[in-house]
Amino acid sequence: MSFRDRVVSGAANVAWNVFQSVNTRLPEGQPFQPEWASAPLLKSYQRSMPTLGFPRETDSLCPDCVKEVRTAIIEGTRDIGELVHGNPGEIKAQILEENGCILMRKTCSVHGPYEDVLSIDPEFTRIIENRFPGRDYSTWGDEHIHRHGTSSIKYGRGAVLTIDLTNRCNMMCNPCFMDANQVGYVHELTMDDVKRILDASISFKPRRQMSVQFSGGEPTISPHFLDACRYAKEVGYWCVQAATNGLRFAKEPDFAFEAKAAGFDMAYLQFDGVTNEANQHRHISNLFDAKLLAMENLSRAGVDITPVTTVLNSINNDQVGPILQFCIDNSDKVGSISFQPVSFTGRDEDISDEMRHRQRYTISHLAHDLQSWSGGKIDAHRDWYPLGSGTLFTTLADHLRGQDVEFGGQTCSCHPNCGSAVHIVVNEKTRQWASITQFFNQEQFMKDIEVMTDTARDPGWIKMQVGMSLLRNFNPRKAPAGFGIQDLARILDRRVGGSISGGPRPDDRQWRIMWVGGMWFQDLWTYDFRRTEMCVIPYGTQEGEISFCAYNTGVGWRQIIENMHMTASTADWFKTRGRHPIFAGNRDMPLPGAEHTLRVRETEDGELELPVIDGNHDGNGCCGSEEDAIRKIIAAPDTREPVSS
């Protein structure tokens, strides 16, 4: 650190302390009530907290009772009202520390005991929970949307609204949340359905500025995909996404440009590894080649790309490091990466206990895998923050944007056990990278934000405090070569949508911020209703908005609603509409003879040179070791014939 840097940092720290010695002694300012909210902006001490720490007790589900109740409702022998007014399948669960792990343990009076691992590192879990700043607003005026009994969302303005356009898919994957192509019926929204769901999503307070993510099945095979993108933009959503396998974008280069013109902003792209072999459990032998073409076409069209990796222990957990390196190498095309530890639901709900324990993977596994792969550049305890910590940055932006704003800022205020993330900075030209907490005291900066928003001064005073806090918490000696305070300020301003500079959201430049996230969805063995009620990624359905986990797992709202609103049986659909192409059977899919410009690290003999991770997670004795038999089961050839058009 140069003498000038030391002087600037020290002066900023002195200035901050002097200013706060006066600021914190004055009466706190009264926060305004934005047009989009049902109450004034919350102060840090007004935020409610779920019960955290361990041991603790929570409400959960019996994996077997749930299936019985769901089947009875679908068959008509029990009424759906029981889910709204009763507690079918619900049991108490204990969350406790034992043998170096955090466990969920519960017992059903009918079906007996159940146990699963929530974390292989109790200290990691403590740190994440301690960094959670508290819940966002309680919802208000939402009775017509959130009406699903104990599965109802109670807190938060939301971050991503997911809408399944169709349950049809052009792949046959394991795992699959919705068991696409296998349930014996087609459930596909009409465009009127899509409009009703989107209109309802902004009909109550807090009025949310969420992203909209069209999903499925494979959303791009819905005939309404492009029109749905257009309408989402019309009603005011700033970001339109699709959870897609990318096959249509790979096969049809012009489709990416059509989607971009319709308002499509981001591809949430299924991406399980950086070789064709690493994707073999998806049953397309050249799937990685297809992903590269899809990414090339999407990038040329100006669509942002977030690879999404479902991680299974002993199957592809050795790929998390190479996938992150791939994203760093292609940071001009990739802005973030979402790792999703497996949730055993949908097609995998009937997994054996032995297989489930062997393949169980948690965010704590991910944190240690990335620490091992990076040689400590990503630190499992220093660098990870709960997704809900972003609430503080949104609160700062809310104060700076002012009262007359139509939508509240995007806020991922979910339960700290739902997900965590690391932010790294990447130089687009040199591929140099570092965790932002290596050179910036993020924890102290977040405490500083709470001081700024609790004292609630005028925007000019808040911006001055932001500047002082940035300078005092930035350590240029530990920053990557060429990364300066101006780069950090631009990244923060981009994070809060330009509200610090007072202009539009700044563009990315040479130094980019990359979000490395872990999103762990619940299944019947890990289910916690305290997480459900704080969901910020609800499903928009024909029966209101439902927590992501309550819809895909929980008591089985997905199967119930899809049966209630079934479009046609699969047989009838095929008779009247024909069959859609499905690529499976461990065969190549046909691809156009196009080239891509993505960087893939290979040696002369074609083998990847990226370091891989030791996949053995013994968790100090609490977790099963890796066995080759599991990989062989998943990699076994699919004997079923692929469905063709």
Least Cα distance to 539 among 212, 305, 234 occurs for 212
In the predicted model, is pLDDT for residue 60 greater than 60? yes
State CA 210 to chain mean position distance.
Answer: 13
Q: What is the pLDDT of residue 362?
A: 98
Predicted pLDDT of residue 38 = 83
Token readout for 247 is 């096959």
Q: How confident is the model at residue 605 (pLDDT cuts 50, 70, 90)?
A: very low
pLDDT given at position 36? 83
Q: Other CB atoms closer than 10 Å to residue 570's CB: what's the count?
A: 16
Which token pair is 582? 């499905």
Q: Is the dihedral of CA 560, 565, 569, 573 positive or negative?
A: negative
* Alpha carbon distance 415, 569 (integer Å): 38
pLDDT cut 90: percent of the chain above it: 73
pLDDT for 634 equals: 31
Read off the pLDDT band of 637 (50, 70, 90): very low
- Taking alpha carbons only, the member of 290, 292, 291, 228 closest to residue 259 is 228
- Separation of alpha carbons 438 and 427, rounded Å: 15
- For the CA atoms of 519, 523, 528, 532, the dihedral, rounded to the nearest 10 degrees, stands at 60
Reduced to 3 states (helix: H, G, I; strand: E, B; else coil), residue 467 is helix
What is the mean predicted confidence (pLDDT) over 309-326?
Answer: 94
With 50 as the cut, is the pLDDT of residue 644 above it?
Answer: no
Task: State mean pLDDT over 228-252.
Answer: 95
Long-range pairs for 455-462: beta carbons < 8 A, 24 or more residues apart: 455/23, 455/24, 455/26, 455/28, 455/29, 456/28, 456/29, 456/30, 456/31, 456/41, 456/43, 456/399, 457/23, 457/29, 458/29, 459/399, 459/400, 459/402, 462/396, 462/399, 462/400
Instruction: Using the predicted structure, report yes or no on whether residue 59 has a pLDDT greater than 80.
Output: yes
Per-residue pLDDT, 180? 61
| pLDDT at residue 141 in the model | 73
Please state, in angstroms and rounded to a whole number, the distance separating the CA atoms of residues 504 and 502. Answer: 7
Distance between alpha carbon 29 and the CA centroid of its chain, in Å? 35
Query: Can you give the pLDDT at residue 8?
Result: 84
Least confident of 49-53, 205-209, 353-357, 486-490: 205-209
pLDDT in tens, 533-547: 999 999 999 999 999
What confidence score (pLDDT) does residue 178 get? 58
- What pLDDT shows up at residue 632? 36
Residues 150-171, mean pLDDT to the nearest whole number: 90
Please give the C-alpha separations between residue 447 and each of 44, 119, 131, 580, in angstroms, as whole numbers.
10, 27, 10, 53
* pLDDT top residue among 613 and 79: 79
CA–CA separation, 448 vs 178, rounded Å?
43
* Crossing angle between the packed helical segments 253-261 and 225-234, to the nearest 10 degrees: 30
| Nearest-angstrom CA–CA distance, 70 and 520 | 23
For the stretch 484-494, pLDDT in tens is 999 999 999 88
Averaged confidence pLDDT in the chain: 89
Between 34-38, 46-50, 120-124, the lowest mean confidence (pLDDT) is in 34-38
Those residues with Cβ within 8 angstroms of residue 291's Cβ, 6 or more apart along the chain or in another chain: 246, 250, 269, 270, 271, 279
Q: Exposure pattern of 275-305 as b/e (b: 16+ CB <10 Å)? A: bbebbbbbbbbbbbbbbbbbbbbbbebebbb
What pLDDT does 181 receive?
Answer: 62
- Give residue-wise pLDDT tens across range 351-406: 999 999 999 999 999 999 999 999 999 999 999 999 999 889 999 999 998 888 87
pLDDT of residue 4: 73
Categorize the per-residue pLDDT at 147 as very low, low, confident or very high, splitting at 50, 70 and 90. confident
Inform me whether the pLDDT recorded for 631 exceeds 50.
no
pLDDT tens digits for 272-312?
Answer: 999 999 888 899 999 999 999 999 999 999 999 999 999 99
Reply yes or no on whether the pLDDT at 416 is more than 90. Answer: yes
Instruction: Say if residue 582's pLDDT is above 50.
Output: yes
pLDDT on residue 158: 77
Confidence tier at 639 by pLDDT (50, 70, 90) = very low
Element (H or E) spanning 304, and its range? strand 304-311
Which of 61-65, 138-142, 188-192 has the weakest average pLDDT? 138-142
Per-residue pLDDT, averaged over 29-42, amounts to: 90
